[in-house]
Structure 1
């Protein structure tokens, strides 16, 4: 048995209840615990996030260098356009970033509290044709 188990990715924010709603809707998650200063959720695939109240939280400014990347989450999706519509509908916003080099198509966003995250397209793998 592992001595240390994976826990939560915790995002500090001024209003954890509101940010939890954004991610619950985006990930089709359920709330697993809530206190006055923390809300925890778990997605259908088991991914767990927590949101901790910090009234002095300063949103990251990424990709600008000042107060840059504090935390970053990658989410994988089958349809970038559909996922982007959902993000914007829930109050997230696209970030102006250059396309990332590499084999993945991805887009950067900020949640309503300013934390950055990426939607990354799952590339279907087809069997090799002989």
Structure 2
């Protein structure tokens, strides 16, 4: 049974919230809000905000290390992959050495080392096949 809930923010752990928030502001626009240098909110006006939280023990996720646990990553739809890539590299992103998406999407690392993707509209589209109401879960999938 679903409850009444809506996603209002995604919080990203990092060593320097102000720096990382400014990076994503360069991609998305919006306003930065903060109560301290340890927690910064990027409000873009698109409904869901990005929050940046300082953590002392931050370590970038290794990409692509199949032995490392996968964590959440962000995907952004862009009009022009090449232009967006150049813009993001200028803001401080790094192009990941492994690129599984061909011309559909690119993997970059933000200034704190988090992998994220930029994708064409076709790659960002919602799959057209609806998932069954209660698909069977395998033992390796979290519930």
TM-score, normalization by structure 1: 0.82
Q: Distance in 2 between matches of 1:21 and 1:4?
A: 29
Partner of 1:119: 118
CA contact (8 A) 1:19 1:51 kept: yes
Three-state SS of the structure 2 residue aligned to 1:20 is: helix
In the alignment, structure 2 segments of 5+ residues that lack a partner are 123-143
Three-state SS of the structure 2 residue aligned to 1:24 is: helix
Three-state SS of the structure 2 residue aligned to 1:75 is: strand
CA contact (8 A) 1:59 1:113 kept: yes
Partner of 1:13: 14
Partner of 1:128: none
Q: Deviations along 1:45-78, whole A, 9 cap, x unmatched?
A: 3341010000211111121235443221110011
Aligned length: 120
Q: Distance in 2 between matches of 1:24 and 1:39?
A: 11
In the alignment, structure 1 segments of 5+ residues that lack a partner are 124-130
Three-state SS of the structure 1 residue aligned to 2:25 is: helix
Q: Distance in 1 between matches of 2:115 and 2:108?
A: 6
Partner of 2:90: 89
Partner of 1:64: 65
